[in-house]
Amino acid sequence: MVYRRFLLFTIGLFFAGSSIVQAQTEITTNATAEVPEEDEFVIEDEEGNDEIIDFPEAMTYDLDSLMALYMSKTYLYEDNDCQMIDMNPTFDKEVYIERLRRMPTVMEMPYNEVVQKFIDRYTGRLRHSVSYMLGASNFYMPIFEEALEAYGIPLELKYLPIIESALNPSAVSRVGATGLWQFMLATGKRYDLKVNTLVDERRDPLKASYAAAHYLSDLYKVFGDWNLVIAAYNCGPNTINKAIHRANGEKDYWKIYPYLPKETRGYVPAFIAANYVMTYYGEHNICPMTTRLPSQTDTVIVKKNVHLQQVAEICNIDIEQLRALNPEYRHDIIPGESEELGIRLPITEVGKFIDMEDSIYSHRADELLTKRAIVAVNEETPSYSRNTRTSVRNSKNARNKRSRTSSRGQSVTIKQGQTLSEIARKHGTTVAKLKKLNGIKGNNIQAGKKLKVK
């Protein structure tokens, strides 16, 4: 058996649930106003025309289900010594300019109206999400910094996952980007992240962080400008090259800005705003959630197929804790017979796993590991009734009828504990569209009710 040791706070195995940004009321020193759900905002360009800018998807996620997750319930809580008041002070433009200028960064952190819009969103309606991410950053930032340092990347890029995934290792976007760094399938595999039916290393905080640092380093070799690098990280290098050509060869993000997709136009400003709010949160009356560091963990290499439930029951470990420590295993199965893979365990349970390894592999194996190696073929001669053709014809008619019915619209039945954001992601839509389609004003939905999704 091969045996490796890590610290839990070093590898950042913290969240394994749904995405984490909450739509809240935007509050200023003068007034309180309800802010509607939105995926974009409009500003006026220099010629007086309306310009639509998309929010990065992680800035539209819902926080509702996150605090019910095992790791957040166990290790994060509000700081009673810091009284977080829902009052976001407003400042003159010059104050924001000076604060951005003072930040110790290699990358430019300039101010403009678009940057201000993103700062307002983070410090206003997303202020409680910022509180949450400040707490979670105690787990993740050491990993990000270590990976970025290994590739000589500016450390301010450690805040890129805030706008990519809102610090959720299991986040999945509408287009399938996955994990803290939101790798698409092809890009993840290009940077040696294993993805198959059972394993998705895009969800592994440590491996994904090193893959992201490697990718960012490669992009810098192409563009030589960090703003263009993170824009390319969002929309792909080919899209950036097209924008450069359309801008007559300009290689300044703010010069090619009009030729970028709507979301990418907001991506660099959102990144600047994330750096701002993670630095100056105190000036906006935002209190970080308090973090209690988990105990150390060890990684044990397994050479047989094993289900997390087998480990949980024999070692008496909470299955939710195991899932949180091992978010890369998509169906709770570690396919150790395919290749040597690791399972992360609390350090106190490693000895028990080693001592009882054979018992773990055999425990409920026929029930939990159900993929058969050999099957018998039924060689009996089938008997057909006279009504077979009629039954087949009626079956086809029923299918055609269902097909015609489904083409007119699609509804789902709300399950217990589901949220609008979870349903939206599953069906490739947005919370705002679901609300409009169903006439929903708030965020509350009732289990058992039908919800239109198309």
**Choice between 397 and 108, residue whose per-residue pLDDT is larger:** 108
Q: Which amino acid would we find at residue 216?
A: L
Residue 49, pLDDT > 70, answer no
- Going by pLDDT thresholds of 50, 70 and 90, the confidence category of residue 407 is very low
Structure tokens at 213: 């640092």
Residue 1, pLDDT > 50, answer no
What average pLDDT does range 270-299 have in this prediction?
91
- Going by pLDDT thresholds of 50, 70 and 90, the confidence category of residue 440 is confident
**% of the chain surpassing 90 pLDDT:** 52
Residue 374, pLDDT > 80, answer yes
What average pLDDT does range 33-43 have in this prediction?
53
Residue 189, pLDDT > 70, answer yes
The pLDDT tens digits for 226-280 are 999 999 999 999 999 999 999 999 999 999 999 999 889 999 999 999 999 999 9
Report which DSSP code applies to 28. Answer: B
Residue 388, pLDDT > 90, answer no
Report which DSSP code applies to 133. Answer: H
Note whether 213 and 153 are within 8 A (CB): yes
What pLDDT score does 178 carry? 95
Q: Is 108 left (phi over 0), alpha (psi -120 to 50) or beta?
A: beta
What average pLDDT does range 35-39 have in this prediction?
49
What pLDDT score does 362 carry? 94
Compute the mean pLDDT over every residue in the chain, rounded to the nearest whole number. 83
Q: Alpha-carbon dihedral of residues 299, 300, 302, 306, nearest 10 degrees?
A: -70
What pLDDT score does 13 carry? 41
Per the annotation, the verdict on 164 as an active-site residue is: yes
The pLDDT tens digits for 206-233 are 999 999 999 999 999 999 999 999 999 9
How many Cβ atoms sit within 10 Å of the Cβ of residue 41?
16
Residue 25, pLDDT > 60, answer no
Which one from 37, 164, 357, 422 is the annotated catalytic residue? 164
What pLDDT score does 62 carry? 65
List, in order, residues 6 or more apart from 147 with CB less than 8 Å away: 206, 209, 210, 212, 213
The pLDDT tens digits for 89-139 are 989 999 999 999 999 999 999 999 999 999 999 999 899 889 989 988 888
Q: Which amino acid would we find at residue 270?
A: A
What pLDDT score does 394 carry? 62
What average pLDDT does range 61-66 have in this prediction?
63
What pLDDT score does 186 carry? 95
Residue 26, pLDDT > 90, answer no
What pLDDT score does 58 carry? 83
Which range among 1-15, 235-249, 264-278, 295-309 shows the weakest confidence by mean pLDDT? 1-15
Q: Name the pTM for this structure.
A: 0.74
Number of H-type helices and E-type strands within the chain: 20, 13
CA distance 129 to 59: 10
What pLDDT score does 50 carry? 65
Residue 21, pLDDT > 60, answer no
Residue 392, pLDDT > 70, answer no
What pLDDT score does 86 carry? 81
